Amino acid sequence: MKKTVSFFLFLVLLCNSALLLAQTEPESIVLDADKFQDYFYESLKQKGMENYDKAITALEECLKIKPNDAVVYSEMGKNYFGLKNYEQSYSSYEKAAQIEPKNKWFWAGMYDVSYQIKNYNQAIIAVNKLIEFNESYKDDLVSLYMYTQQFDKALVLINELNEKVGKSDRRELYKTQILSQGKFQNTGIDNLIAKIKINPKEEANYVALIKLYSENNESEKAAEITKKLETEIPDSDWAQIGLFKLYLDKNEAQKAINAMNVVLANAQIDSKIKHRVLNEFLLFVDKNPQYSSDLDKAIAYFDKDTTVNVGKEIGKFYQNKKQWAKAAFYYEQALKNSSGEDIETNMLLLQTYVEAKQFEIVSKKAAALVEIYPSQPQFYYFSGLANNQLKHYKKAIEMLEMGMDYVVDDAPLETNFNLQLGEAYNGLGDFKKKEYYFAKANQLLKAKK
């Protein structure tokens, strides 16, 4: 009976003990949860103030309460990244991913760290995992394959993406880089030939193939594909890009001009391609000046092009060749088409007139430009130079002295001002001031050396 009573009392005490534990444990849990929350919010606050060390200290307290909390490890990864401690950052994200492998943001953190330290092979591992969540990361994988020179894998992936989601400028640039290497050219050519057989009405494949053959100097094959394109898609303007180059190579000028005009008139063709076509025609016209009028008509297609002032660039081309009259003509055309300020083109134009010794024109234009741009010292300089050449010495001095006030931190220009002032006073017979300004110019030249 004692044993029974004793055993009963033991059970009662045990139950009471369990009851007591049950009564205290939730409070402990609540306290721990409150502490965790406080430390976590403190870490967020410190991170927001870029106090990454303090944020990490708070997160370490969080881990004491919850040792396997993936979010805490992820936050540590962010703060170590802020401290540029990339090894610890990667390790923290890696621990988070081990706890919750299906959370893509932890893999994204590992990718960010790997990319930051240019460990592209490590980045590939993270991106391959990210692709399981979102296939758009395949574009990142293409770039990583390029960085690690895994061109065969890059090419396969580029072709896959082009088929599934369409082409992109970046992928096309990568593809061009890959196919420019000898061992990949045949792969690209075979791939395009196969695509043309499957879908003979897709003009982009013809254009790409023509380009590849042209780059390989296989002009006959390029011509053959161009003819196929014309047969399958007679109204294709893209065919004219390849034809233009072929006609130029064969010196069939009028056919080349007709093809060029079709290309330039097509709003769908990229402006970079149009600029390349125009540049090739410019080189052709330089050797065959009888087609200059066709060049002028071609330039008119670029009147509304805000990216490049074509007339100005052609002017520079002829100025470099010391063909002053042609350079001046195209600079004037560029200024007619300019919608806003174009100080540089005006200066280039004045320089061509100086080189051609057309000082009357320089004097008039420079004086007009001084009125429009009163704080631009270069226009005063051109006015002074021109008036010196015309022996209008007093006018030269007046313009040069006014312009000198606007010369700031430009020793070469200041030197030229002093030389022209010396020339002007020499013309007036004031040899004392002539020597004074020549001496100043000489000092500036010595300081430059």
In this prediction, residues 238-246 reach a mean pLDDT of: 79
Q: 10-38 pLDDT, tens per residue? A: 333 333 333 333 344 545 445 667 899 99
Convert 407-442 to b/e letters by CB count within 10 Å (16 or more is b): beeeeebbbbbbbbbbbbbbbeeeeeebeebbebbe
What are the tens digits of pLDDT across the range 248-267?
888 888 988 998 888 888 87
**What local confidence, expressed as pLDDT, does residue 221 receive?**
83
- What's the rounded Cα separation, in Å, for the pair 164 and 136? 11
CB of 145 within 8 A of CB of 157?
Answer: yes
User: Where does the pLDDT of residue 85 fall: very low under 50, low under 70, confident under 90, or very high at 90 and above?
Assistant: very high
pLDDT digits (tens, 9 = 90+) for 378-401: 999 999 999 999 999 999 999 999
Instruction: Give the Cα separation of 223 and 43 in Å (integer).
Output: 67
Q: From CA 48, how far away is CA 71, in angstroms rounded?
A: 17
* Integer Rg of the chain from CA: 37
Q: Give the tens place of pLDDT for each residue, 410-426.
A: 888 989 999 999 999 99
Cβ contact 277:264 at 8 Å = yes
Burial class of residue 29 (count of CB atoms within 10 Å of its CB; 0-12, 13-18, 19+): exposed
Do residues 311 and 299 touch, judged by C-beta distance below 8 A?
yes
